[in-house]
């Protein structure tokens, strides 16, 4: 069966503060079918954010393969990984990573501008209407509630109609009600668009919403009782999508 995401012998390590090489990710095999929705359970420091960043091509693997929709991400140069990510992936970050100097509509348009269809203002408006923010198009992120900011992040991630959506603790900064609403929205829009969804979380209430669940420790052979991913910053979990220099020009 064709896999939307296929991971084989994936490894990533970092240097500890003591100068020792510590392996964070060692995943012999992992796959996700088109349209499949899977939740990975993992505690903070377990390497799950590093795993998502390797899949997205934000980090380069030490070895192994990541294939997205038939294209091997790990065989590409950094600019080509950026292009594949723009074409095929949507990434929802825990901290939203919205650009504060841009309006809601501009944040979505900017994300779209690196995709295959370019910045489509009509579609951006449609997606924002879909997430309930049609009346907030010209507001800035600082003028929105936390829940509304998460909805902008969801709209930005889904605006390019990705084949695969990665969600890193996407409800971690929300209260219980807004967390349930945001998760339901993410899953519904992924179903509507036929996108596969891989979500990582340590929140049992979030994980319980998924019919398919796995423990990250079951697929990750690396012994990471105290992962340096957050201490070193090497996995760049909070950096957000990297935009080329022209991203400073308003769409």
pLDDT tens for each residue of 40-62: 998 888 899 999 999 999 999 99
pLDDT of residue 244: 37
- How many Å apart are CA 242 and CA 82, to the nearest integer? 8
Q: Decide: pTM greater than 0.85.
A: no
Q: Which residue has the tokens 């070193």?
A: 232
pLDDT tier at 241, thresholds 50, 70, 90: very low
Q: Which residue has the higher pLDDT, 114 or 72?
A: 72
- How many Å apart are CA 5 and CA 15, to the nearest integer? 28
How far from chain centre, in Å, is Cα 45? 17
168-217 tens-digit pLDDT: 988 877 778 878 888 888 899 899 889 999 999 998 989 999 999 999 99
Residue 201 buriedness (CB in 10 A; 0-12 / 13-18 / 19+): buried
DSSP state of 65: E
DSSP characters over 154-202:
HHHHHTT--SEEEEESTTTTS-HHHHHHHHHHHHHHHHHHT-EEEEEES
Q: Is the pLDDT of residue 246 over 50?
A: no
Q: Domain 35-61+75-237 maps to which CATH number in 3.40.50.300, 3.40.50.2000, 3.90.420.10, 1.10.1060.10?
A: 3.40.50.300
HSE-CB of 42 using CA atoms within 13 angstroms: 29
pLDDT of residue 223: 61
DSSP strand pairing (37-41 vs 213-215): parallel
């Amino acid at each position: 069966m064709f896999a939307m995401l296929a991971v084989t012998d994936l490894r990533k390590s970092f240097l500890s503060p003591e100068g020792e090489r510590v392996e964070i990710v060692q995943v012999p095999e992992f796959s996700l079918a088109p349209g499949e929705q899977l939740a990975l359970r993992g505690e903070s420091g377990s390497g799950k954010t590093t795993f998502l960043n390797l899949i997205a091509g934000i980090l380069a693997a030490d070895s192994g393969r990541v294939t997205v929709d038939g294209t091997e991400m790990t065989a590409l140069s950094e600019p080509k990984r950026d292009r594949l990510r723009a074409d095929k992936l949507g990434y929802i970050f825990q901290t939203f990573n919205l650009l504060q100097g841009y309006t809601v509509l501009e944040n979505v348009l900017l994300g779209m501008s690196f995709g295959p269809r370019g910045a489509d203002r009509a579609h951006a408006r449609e997606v924002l209407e879909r997430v309930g923010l049609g009346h907030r198009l010209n507001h800035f992120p600082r003028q929105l509630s936390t829940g509304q900011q998460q909805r902008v992040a969801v709209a930005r991630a889904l605006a390019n109609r990705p084949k695969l959506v990665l969600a890193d603790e996407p409800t971690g900064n929300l209260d219980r009600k807004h967390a349930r609403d945001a998760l339901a929205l993410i899953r519904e829009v992924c179903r509507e668009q036929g996108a596969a969804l891989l979500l990582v979380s340590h929140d049992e209430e979030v994980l319980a919403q998924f019919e398919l669940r796995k423990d990250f420790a079951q697929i990750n052979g690396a012994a990471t009782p105290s992962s340096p991913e957050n201490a070193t910053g090497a996995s760049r979990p909070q950096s957000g999508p990297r935009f080329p220099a022209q991203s400073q020009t308003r769409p």
